[in-house]
Amino acid sequence: MKAVLIAAALVLGAGAATAQQFDYGFAGLMGKANRVTLPSLTLASGKPVSDAPIDLKSGTYYKMKIVADGSAELALSGGDFFRAIWINEIVINKIEVRPMGVHSLEFDAGGEAEISFIAISPGSYSLSIPGSSGDSQKAVFNIR
């Protein structure tokens, strides 16, 4: 009912109503109370991508940095992981990308990307360096 009255007031020009007047603060899945910052993933020649498996909770909003030191041209690939999450954005050099789908991120030189997403489908997924087979060359995500 409140939403109908607000919409009617706006349509009829009953003043400059704003979201703050009606207490519609930014909340829900992407609100600050539901935001978790994950440890950064590392892309460096001869170094592990992640120290340990990363546990995620379905329905929670996460931010994670991927940092490449430039010691080698490296990528992280994981189509299954990217299909198990909803990606809000990937930020590269202060450019925000809002993709419909991702399969991998490749770094030709040193740099940083930040990905923000909501974990969706429970299961175990990984982001790994293509062509590598060692356990330290991937990050494992467990969505519960």
CATH number of 27-143: 2.60.40.420
Per-residue pLDDT, averaged over 108-129, amounts to 97
Q: Are 137 and 128 spatial neighbours (Cβ–Cβ below 8 Å)?
A: yes
Surface-to-core class of residue 107, CB atoms within 10 Å of its CB (0-12 exposed, 13-18 middle, 19+ buried):
buried
* Residue 32 pLDDT grade (very low, low, confident, very high; cuts 50, 70, 90): low
**Predicted confidence (pLDDT) per residue in 38-69, tens digit:** 999 999 998 999 999 999 999 999 999 999 99
The answer to whether the predicted template modeling score (pTM) of the entire model surpasses 0.85 is: no
Rg (CA), the chain: 20
pLDDT at 30: 63
Helix H or strand E encompassing 139? strand 138-143
d(CA 79, CA 125): 9
CA dist 144 and 113 (Å) reads: 25
Task: Tell me what pLDDT residue 2 has.
Answer: 44
**Lowest-pLDDT range of 6-15, 52-61, 93-102:** 6-15
Q: What is the pLDDT of residue 99?
A: 94
Burial (CB count <10 Å: 0-12, 13-18, 19+), residue 139? buried
Domain chopping of the chain, boundaries: 27-143
Q: What is the pLDDT of residues 105-116, one digit of tens each?
A: 999 999 999 999
